[in-house]
């Protein structure tokens, strides 16, 4: 597969990366088979996280014995303090079975509170700098769901790579974040290129993203056939057409006010409901094992039952998403999901 220059890292990475969330749902044997199959397709860029349960361990088994320099490995820590962050780096190295990780990210720096924590004295950023000094990490990175906050962090000039959501619906990063990353020579990982599993037209998704030559999408897959299709589309070099643009506008119209962009402008809710998690619960259900989805979102979904439909969230939402209606829909979906898995 074609390799592209990844900003100031100097690395050459496959133009499609492999996202490590969905393999949590697979057995070890099946996950290893998928990862090895993906690598055989020419994908050399693997992105996972310390918090993705056994994803790192499964990847570690799959890559054992391969020349380390043949792969570019990225992982993340959600720790906010230096001590825990460094513990996570060591755990990632052990799980992956490698001596260093190419790109290590401060995971999910999406709020002012998190920003302050990671950059304060004794914060996770100090841990990242220390891990690089020790040779355990090569390049500093961060991921986020907040575009304005991400731009602020990028301008600090402390990072070589940024990872943000980007697909043909969540396209705000195209206006400022992607041009800024290019200006700063930062590598850009396009998180959720299929909307966390909610955009089913792979061809439309990849063709849209192919317009941006400085980004690398990292779709999460759990079947080798999915990556085979994605690679075929990426290598076909079919240009993005006016018909594609018209199809996207049609999809946007159909979604209307039913798509949450996870910008978090709706927060805080008077009933303390974490709205974006509730509205994106279908993505959790599609990509994660039931136990992890339940542990992460079970209480959040219970809290969603406290919605009084005050519509304060709708007033604050720049996209005018019909939040109360979606909360009701997602609760019905969640209850069905829990019932189906409880009997397994």
Q: For residue 103, which of 200, 216, 210, 221 has the smallest C-alpha distance?
A: 216
| DSSP reduced 3-state for 81 | strand
CA distance 42 to 131: 29
Q: What residue has token string 């940024």?
A: 162
Residue 197: what pLDDT?
Answer: 87
223-261 pLDDT, tens digit each: 999 999 999 999 998 899 999 999 999 998 888 878 888
Structure tokens at 304: 């969603």
Residue 129: what pLDDT?
Answer: 98
**Residues whose CB falls within 8 Å of the CB of residue 140, separated by 6 or more in sequence, listed in order:** 104, 128, 129, 132, 158, 159, 160, 161
Q: How far is CA 306 from the centre of its chain?
A: 29
**Residues whose CB falls within 8 Å of the CB of residue 259, separated by 6 or more in sequence, listed in order:** 169, 319, 321
Q: How many residues does the chain have?
A: 344
Phi then psi dihedrals of residue 140, to 5 deg: -80, 145
CA distance 265 to 261: 10
Q: What residue has token string 């099946």?
A: 30
Q: What does DSSP say about strands 215-217 and 45-47: parallel, antiparallel, or unpaired?
A: unpaired
Residue 158: what pLDDT?
Answer: 97
Q: For residue 25, which of 50, 48, 55 has the smallest C-alpha distance?
A: 55
Cβ–Cβ < 8 Å for 145, 111? no
Cβ–Cβ < 8 Å for 271, 302? no
CA distance 183 to 261: 25
Cβ–Cβ < 8 Å for 169, 195? yes
Beta strands in the chain (DSSP E): 3-5, 12-14, 18-19, 45-47, 72-77, 101-106, 137-143, 161-165, 187-191, 215-217
Phi then psi dihedrals of residue 247, to 5 deg: -65, -40
Residue 255: what pLDDT?
Answer: 85
Q: What residues in the chain have per-residue pLDDT under 70?
A: 343-344
Q: How far apart are the first and last CA of the chain?
A: 40
Residue 344: what pLDDT?
Answer: 62
């Amino acid at each position: 597969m074609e390799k592209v220059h990844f900003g100031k890292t100097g690395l050459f990475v496959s133009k499609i990366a492999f996202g490590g969330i969905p393999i949590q749902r697979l057995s070890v044997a099946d996950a290893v088979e998928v990862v090895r199959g993906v690598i055989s397709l020419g994908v050399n860029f693997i992105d996972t996280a310390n918090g993705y349960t056994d994803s790192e361990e499964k990847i570690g088994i799959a890559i054992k014995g391969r020349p380390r320099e043949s792969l570019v490995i990225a992982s993340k820590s959600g720790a906010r303090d230096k001590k825990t962050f460094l513990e996570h780096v060591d755990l990632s190295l052990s799980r992956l079975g490698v001596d260093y990780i190419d790109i290590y990210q401060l995971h999910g720096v999406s709020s002012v509170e998190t920003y302050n924590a990671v950059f304060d004295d004794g914060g996770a950023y100090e841990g990242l700098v220390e891990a690089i000094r020790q040779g355990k990490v090569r390049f500093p990175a961060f991921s986020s769901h907040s575009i304005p906050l991400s731009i602020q962090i990028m301008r600090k000039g402390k990072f070589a790579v940024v990872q943000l959501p980007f697909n043909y619906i969540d396209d705000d990063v195209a206006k400022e974040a992607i041009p800024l990353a290019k200006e700063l020579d930062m590598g850009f990982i396009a998180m959720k290129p299929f909307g966390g599993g909610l955009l089913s037209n792979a061809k439309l998704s990849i063709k849209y993203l192919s317009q941006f030559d400085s980004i690398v999408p990292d779709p999460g897959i759990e079947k080798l056939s999915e990556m085979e299709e994605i690679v075929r589309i990426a290598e076909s070099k079919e240009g993005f057409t006016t018909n594609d643009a018209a199809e996207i506008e049609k999809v946007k119209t159909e979604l209307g006010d039913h798509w949450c962009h996870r910008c978090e402008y709706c927060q805080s809710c008077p009933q303390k409901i974490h709205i974006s998690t509730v509205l994106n619960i279908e993505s959790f259900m599609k990509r994660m094992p039931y136990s992890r989805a339940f542990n992460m979102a079970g209480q959040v979904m219970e809290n969603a039952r406290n919605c009084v439909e005050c519509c304060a969230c709708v007033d604050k939402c720049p996209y005018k998403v019909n939040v109360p209606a979606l909360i009701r829909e997602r609760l019905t979906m969640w209850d069905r999901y829990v019932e189906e898995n409880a009997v397994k």
